[in-house]
Chains A and B, each alone.
Chain A
């Protein structure tokens, strides 16, 4: 009996020791992740202006309002548009540049550094610089914006417009700048992935008579698939949540033409003081992002099976 008690006590001591070691991490995770997560759900079902001590419970009214909020779904579509741009053009450029820099070319370290400059720049600074480039005003025949100045000087006057205030071009301009700013991350990850591919595989393909195109499709792409999926997921998460460029370049305008989900959440919190509604937006948007990431993971496993 005493031996059993001793074993029991020793077992609990081990258990307690282990728990104590993970306790700080559990505490931090609970305070900064678990609690806010559940509190967001809680607030999403309340009507609250952010200050008042009264937070009446209104069940799913905020979610119901969100379903019929046209501006919110317009914002979600805009985020998809920016993401689609990033997934295709940004990542294609990043992959091509990574392939180029993976070869024995002159000054490849210089290129690696240059391609990684945009991601490390402040998003606000990038936004303001591009705002200046895309500026549409003119005085005495001189265009303030660099792009319009260039178009004028090469005789393409018919293309000149107020890029950020024209509803047909504003969102695309933001998508392009977002891709320009973000392609460096993909570039670095693709390059790291390419450098892990065993060169014997390329030599074996060469011996088998495969040309460059076949080698790319049958060796490079399959070996890079895990990296590609990670880059795609990160691109989706990063692009769907883009908002700093929007605020610094257009402040959601003209009208609602460049509004995105995060700026809507911010507007609901700081502008119209609808904290509960903002939390409902956050929960819905989080669900959309999780669904997208899970879909992509599923696609990856299907492709792997093929």
Chain B
């Protein structure tokens, strides 16, 4: 009996210690990340940092990104977040993390020594982590994250396939692009591929054209509920997807294709155009180092407003406000984003560095992606955020249009119905 009791007590002690906060070694910084392609490079940098400072940095990889996001949410609920982590979500969710005391305000560190650290970064890279004084999320103004790299999402084209279709330079306007796509289809090739089973990517493409057709103010007015989705300009955005389907620019399979498969199709020369982010330079290089391709802005459909692509900080890391190693974590992030480390990361992983001083000797394709930063925007810096349910209905509607199940008008009405319901709910809550 005594032995049993002793065993039971041991088990309970182990259980209790397992349920508690993880123990903190003051000389070890723990980082949870999702960047599979950058893990090896980050480990090497961690080793270098340990040699230089004696502080161990433990990079722990949790992939894919949706699994990582679930882990971060669960860890936040259990109050066991690591010293450094990233939040791969909308700005409103980041705001919730901040308001719940999980993310440190780094403004002081960025502004120390006449804003030395702040000046290293591209303005747009830092912007995604900035909460302005009048932000709609009720977050104390400040900078809450450190960008590691920058990303833009544009179109890429296969130079060999375009030459086969008689093009030496890529088409500039939407109509020219459709014409080129049809010539490519006539050759028995797939004109355009993307991973539109991932709703955010289809959303990104449609958002580019929404800005081009109606301008930023009207898009934001729609999100605020002042302009309906049944507005002719929005119908025109939906009609783009109908055109892509009817003119055989896309295969029906695009709606169930994940971006990984779409990347494979483009890298293997199965498609002439693809819609993808600057991370693809590394991916395509890994899949087919001989691939000849170029980068282009999505072709404009209107000259009334500029076509804005999504861009800004690709990956950002945050510091746990409750971490006993907060100061050390901030110091490490400053070291990680310094010119030398950023250059190493950029070379090793073919990503655009967030530190503007590290821009040198980039591959041509990556440099072209970087040039798109001037015409970029991102949902995380918009003053209004569309309701998630409306976004889901919107992007699922785009899929329905592509498979010929719904017309643009029908989808517009369905989206507007969800929008009105959500607006009413928000009103009731208030």
Residues of A within 8 A of B (CB): 17, 20-21, 23-24, 27, 47, 49-53, 131, 135-141, 144, 162, 164-167, 170, 249-251, 253-256, 267, 269-273
Q: Which of B146-154, B250-258, B287-295, B371-379 contacts A (4 or more CB under 8 A)?
A: B250-258
Given A47-B429, A139-B270, A271-B392, 14 other A-B residues pairs in contact with their CB atoms under 8 A: A51-B97, A51-B100, A52-B96, A140-B189, A141-B188, A162-B253, A166-B252, A253-B197, A254-B400, A254-B402, A255-B397, A272-B389, A272-B392, A273-B93
Q: Given known contacts A24-B11, A167-B403, is B256 in contact with A137 (CB within 8 Å)? A: no
For residue B400, give the distance in angstroms from its CB to the closest CB of chain A.
Answer: 5
For residue A75, give the distance in angstroms from its CB to the closest CB of chain B.
Answer: 13
Q: Please, could you name 23 A-B residue pairs with CB atoms under 8 Å apart, sorted by A?
A: A21-B4, A23-B8, A49-B93, A51-B100, A136-B253, A137-B251, A137-B270, A139-B270, A140-B188, A165-B251, A165-B256, A166-B403, A170-B256, A249-B256, A250-B197, A254-B252, A254-B400, A254-B403, A255-B396, A271-B388, A271-B392, A272-B389, A272-B392
Q: Given known contacts A136-B252, A272-B392, is B399 in contact with A255 (CB within 8 Å)? A: yes
- What per-residue 1/0 map shows which CB atoms of B391-430 lie under 8 Å from chain A? 0100011011011010000000000000000000000010
How distant is the Cα of A256 from the Cα of B5 in the complex, in angstroms?
Answer: 55
How distant is the Cα of A51 from the Cα of B76 in the complex, in angstroms?
Answer: 7
Ranked 7 nearest A-B pairs via Cβ: A272-B388, A251-B197, A51-B96, A140-B188, A254-B255, A165-B252, A162-B252
How distant is the Cα of A140 from the Cα of B161 in the complex, in angstroms?
Answer: 12
CB-CB nearest in chain A for B97: A51
For residue A162, give the distance in angstroms from its CB to the closest CB of chain B.
Answer: 4
Residues of A with C-beta under 8 A to B96? 49, 51-52
CB under 8 Å from chain A, chain B span 48-87: 66, 69-70, 73, 76-77
Whether B93 pairs with A251 at a CB distance below 8 angstroms is no
For residue B263, give the distance in angstroms from its CB to the closest CB of chain A.
Answer: 14
Chain A interface mostly helix, strand, loop or mixed?
loop
- What per-residue 1/0 map shows which CB atoms of B91-129 lie under 8 Å from chain A? 001001101101000000000000000000000000000
Q: Given known contacts A50-B73, A254-B399, A254-B403, is B388 in contact with A273 (CB within 8 Å)? A: yes
Residues of A with C-beta under 8 A to B198? 251
Chain B interface mostly helix, strand, loop or mixed?
helix
Residues of B with C-beta under 8 A to A167? 403, 405
Whether A51 pairs with B73 at a CB distance below 8 angstroms is yes
- What per-residue 1/0 map shows which CB atoms of B232-253 lie under 8 Å from chain A? 0000000000000000000111
Residues of chain B at interface, number, CB under 8 A: 46
How distant is the Cα of A135 from the Cα of B258 in the complex, in angstroms?
Answer: 12
How distant is the Cα of A164 from the Cα of B254 in the complex, in angstroms?
Answer: 10
- What per-residue 1/0 map shows which CB atoms of B179-215 lie under 8 Å from chain A? 0000000011110000001100000000000000000
Residues of A with C-beta under 8 A to B69? 270
- What per-residue 1/0 map shows which CB atoms of B1-38 lie under 8 Å from chain A? 10011001001000100000000000000000000000
CB-CB nearest in chain A for B72: A51
How distant is the Cα of A141 from the Cα of B185 in the complex, in angstroms?
Answer: 11
- Name A165's contact: one of B99, B255, B429 (CB within 8 Å): B255
Residues of B with C-beta under 8 A to A140? 187-189
Residues of A with C-beta under 8 A to B396? 253, 255-256
CB-CB nearest in chain A for B261: A131
For residue B163, give the distance in angstroms from its CB to the closest CB of chain A.
Answer: 16
How distant is the Cα of A256 from the Cα of B392 in the complex, in angstroms?
Answer: 10
Residues of A with C-beta under 8 A to B397? 255
- Name A139's contact: one of B66, B97, B188, B253 (CB within 8 Å): B188
For residue A267, give the distance in angstroms from its CB to the closest CB of chain B.
Answer: 7
Residues of A with C-beta under 8 A to B347? none
How distant is the Cα of A144 from the Cα of B264 in the complex, in angstroms?
Answer: 12
Residues of A with C-beta under 8 A to B73? 50-51, 270
Whether B99 pairs with A52 at a CB distance below 8 angstroms is yes
- What per-residue 1/0 map shows which CB atoms of B283-319 lie under 8 Å from chain A? 0000000000000000000000000000000000000
- Name B256's contact: one of A49, A251, A256, A267 (CB within 8 Å): A251
Whether A164 pairs with B190 at a CB distance below 8 angstroms is no
Q: Given known contacts A137-B270, A165-B252, is B403 in contact with A20 (CB within 8 Å)? A: no
Whether A50 pairs with B77 at a CB distance below 8 angstroms is yes
- Name A270's contact: one of B8, B11, B66, B255 (CB within 8 Å): B66
For residue B430, give the distance in angstroms from its CB to the closest CB of chain A.
Answer: 12
How distant is the Cα of A251 from the Cα of B66 in the complex, in angstroms?
Answer: 13
Whether B5 pairs with A20 at a CB distance below 8 angstroms is yes
Does chain A have a CB within 8 A of B265? yes
Residues of A with C-beta under 8 A to B189? 139-140
Residues of B with C-beta under 8 A to A166? 252, 403
How distant is the Cα of A111 from the Cα of B222 in the complex, in angstroms?
Answer: 61
CB-CB nearest in chain A for B87: A51
Residues of B with C-beta under 8 A to A27? 15
Whether B70 pairs with A270 at a CB distance below 8 angstroms is yes
Whether B190 pairs with A251 at a CB distance below 8 angstroms is no
How distant is the Cα of A117 from the Cα of B397 in the complex, in angstroms?
Answer: 39
Residues of A with C-beta under 8 A to B76? 51
Whether A162 pairs with B392 at a CB distance below 8 angstroms is no
- Highest count of chain A CB atoms <10 Å: which of B4, B187, B252: B252
Whether A255 pairs with B400 at a CB distance below 8 angstroms is yes
Whether A255 pairs with B405 at a CB distance below 8 angstroms is yes
How distant is the Cα of A253 from the Cα of B11 in the complex, in angstroms?
Answer: 47
How distant is the Cα of A20 from the Cα of B253 in the complex, in angstroms?
Answer: 60
CB-CB nearest in chain B for A58: B429
For residue A186, give the distance in angstroms from its CB to the closest CB of chain B.
Answer: 29
Whether A253 pairs with B265 at a CB distance below 8 angstroms is no
How distant is the Cα of A47 from the Cα of B1 in the complex, in angstroms?
Answer: 48
Whether A137 pairs with B403 at a CB distance below 8 angstroms is no
Residues of A with C-beta under 8 A to B66? 270
Whether A253 pairs with B388 at a CB distance below 8 angstroms is no
